[in-house]
């Protein structure tokens, strides 16, 4: 399907500069795009491609000053990156709206309930008393255990497993291979040195507007709920242990691990491969640098790095000093020689 520059400008509240009737049918990177494709320019490092690209339409910032004439039609907006992201979202939404109905074969329990406009892909399994809200997309190979609730306009990509009694809110996206509600890691040590499994009878609650990347795992609570609060964004390959709570609008990068019963506040930023031990409280707005090991509570707004994690600013000073150690050693030796020369001779 083709869209004109004027139509796209209307969608993103932009102004066309050039041919308003120029049409595109797909997207491309500015350095690689060809005729009939739309791209964007937000990073000044890529401005040189604006004058050589073969793209038909380019979204640019209002503030951009051209150094020479360009062949593509331009759509000027306040923030090219945000406008392009919004346009991609609308495009994806349009494509998903075409997905409706139930493919075959699937397994649907007799007690499943779902809205008329949902999509359920082939080889999906929906157990007893599963509920799926309006506009949701269940891609092929998804497993929904007994008593699972999925809200409205939620997308579960292929291979997602949501085990019994877990709840997923509205406008949630869970990417391929993620497991929600597997048992928490709970074992009681015995007198003979063995371990006895502690039954995990809680669930996982994922609130509205959450996105979870591929191949992540979120364990069910021992008792109560593991909770991912509204607007949180989790990357690929993340481990969230039992009874953890992730605050709203918190972001967690790939390969991070959060141990059991830790409470992460609102608006926290956790870098890739960071590890957080159990039963901690991470205050609102805290920032944890990549590969940090957090073993103590963090106050709101605290920024830490390293393993064990310590104050970010102090760590930067230490790093700066460590780079100067060879120079400092040289100066100390020079001072020692001066001191030797200044000593009185007997």
Give one word for 159, left, alpha or beta, with left for phi > 0 and alpha for psi -120 to 50.
Answer: left
The predicted structure's pLDDT at residue 39: 97
d(CA 226, CA 210): 14
The predicted structure's pLDDT at residue 96: 74
d(CA 164, CA 226): 14
pLDDT of residue 250 exceeding 70, the answer is yes
188-244, pLDDT tens digit by residue? 999 999 999 999 999 999 999 999 999 999 999 999 999 999 999 999 999 999 999
| Three-state secondary structure string covering 183-245 | CCCCEEECCCCCEEECCCCCEEEECCCCEECCCCEEECCCCCEEEECCCCEECCCCEECCCCE
Calculate the alpha carbon distances from 246 to 32, 80, 205, 269 in Å. Answer: 39, 31, 11, 11
Could you tell me the two tokens for 307? Answer: 């393993």
145-181, pLDDT tens digit by residue? 999 999 999 999 999 999 999 999 999 999 999 999 9
Whole-structure pTM value = 0.81
pLDDT of residue 5 exceeding 80, the answer is yes
Residues taking part in catalysis? 242
Q: Is residue 135 a contact partner of residue 116, using CB atoms and an 8 Å limit?
A: no
286-340, pLDDT tens digit by residue? 999 999 999 999 999 999 999 888 787 887 788 788 888 888 888 899 898 888 8
65-108, pLDDT tens digit by residue? 999 999 999 999 999 999 999 999 888 877 777 788 999 999 99
How many Cβ atoms sit within 10 Å of the Cβ of residue 176?
A: 16
d(CA 136, CA 153): 4
Q: Summarize the confidence of residues 58-66 as an average pLDDT.
A: 96
pLDDT of residue 341 exceeding 90, the answer is no
The predicted structure's pLDDT at residue 196: 97
Q: How many CA atoms lie within 13 A of 177 on its CB side?
A: 8
């Amino acid at each position: 399907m083709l869209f004109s520059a004027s139509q796209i400008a209307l969608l993103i509240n932009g102004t066309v500069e050039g041919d308003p009737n120029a049409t595109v049918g797909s997207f491309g990177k500015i350095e690689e795009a060809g005729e009939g494709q739309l791209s964007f320019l937000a990073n000044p490092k890529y401005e040189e491609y604006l004058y050589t690209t073969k793209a038909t339409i380019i979204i640019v910032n209002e503030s951009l000053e051209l150094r020479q004439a360009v062949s593509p039609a331009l759509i000027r907006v306040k923030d090219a990156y945000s406008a392009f992201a919004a346009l991609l979202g609308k495009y994806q939404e349009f494509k998903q709206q075409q997905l409706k109905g139930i493919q075959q074969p699937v397994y649907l329990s007799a007690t499943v309930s779902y809205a008329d406009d949902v999509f359920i892909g082939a080889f999906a399994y929906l157990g007893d008393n599963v509920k799926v809200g309006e506009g949701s997309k269940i891609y092929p190979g998804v497993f929904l255990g007994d008593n699972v609730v999925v809200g409205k306009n939620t997308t579960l990509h292929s291979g997602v497993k949501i085990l019994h009694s877990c709840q997923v809110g509205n406008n949630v996206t869970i990417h391929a291979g993620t497991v929600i509600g597997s048992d928490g890691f709970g074992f009681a040590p015995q007198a003979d040195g063995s371990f006895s499994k502690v039954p995990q009878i809680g669930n996982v609650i994922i609130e509205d507007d959450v996105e979870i990347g591929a191949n992540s795992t979120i364990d069910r609570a021992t008792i109560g709920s593991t909770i991912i609060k509204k607007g949180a964004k989790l990357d690929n390959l993340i481990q969230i242990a039992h009874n953890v709570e992730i605050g709203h609008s918190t972001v967690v990068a790939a390969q991070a691990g959060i141990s059991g019963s830790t409470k992460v506040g609102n608006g926290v930023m956790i870098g890739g491969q960071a590890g957080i031990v159990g039963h901690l409280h991470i205050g609102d707005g805290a920032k944890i640098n990549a590969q940090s090991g957090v073993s103590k509570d963090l106050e709101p707004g605290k920024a830490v790095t390293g393993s064990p994690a310590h104050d970010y600013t102090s760590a930067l000073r230490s790093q700066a000093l460590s780079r100067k150690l060879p120079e400092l050693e040289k100066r100390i030796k020079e001072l020692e020689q001066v001191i030797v020369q200044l000593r009185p001779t007997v």
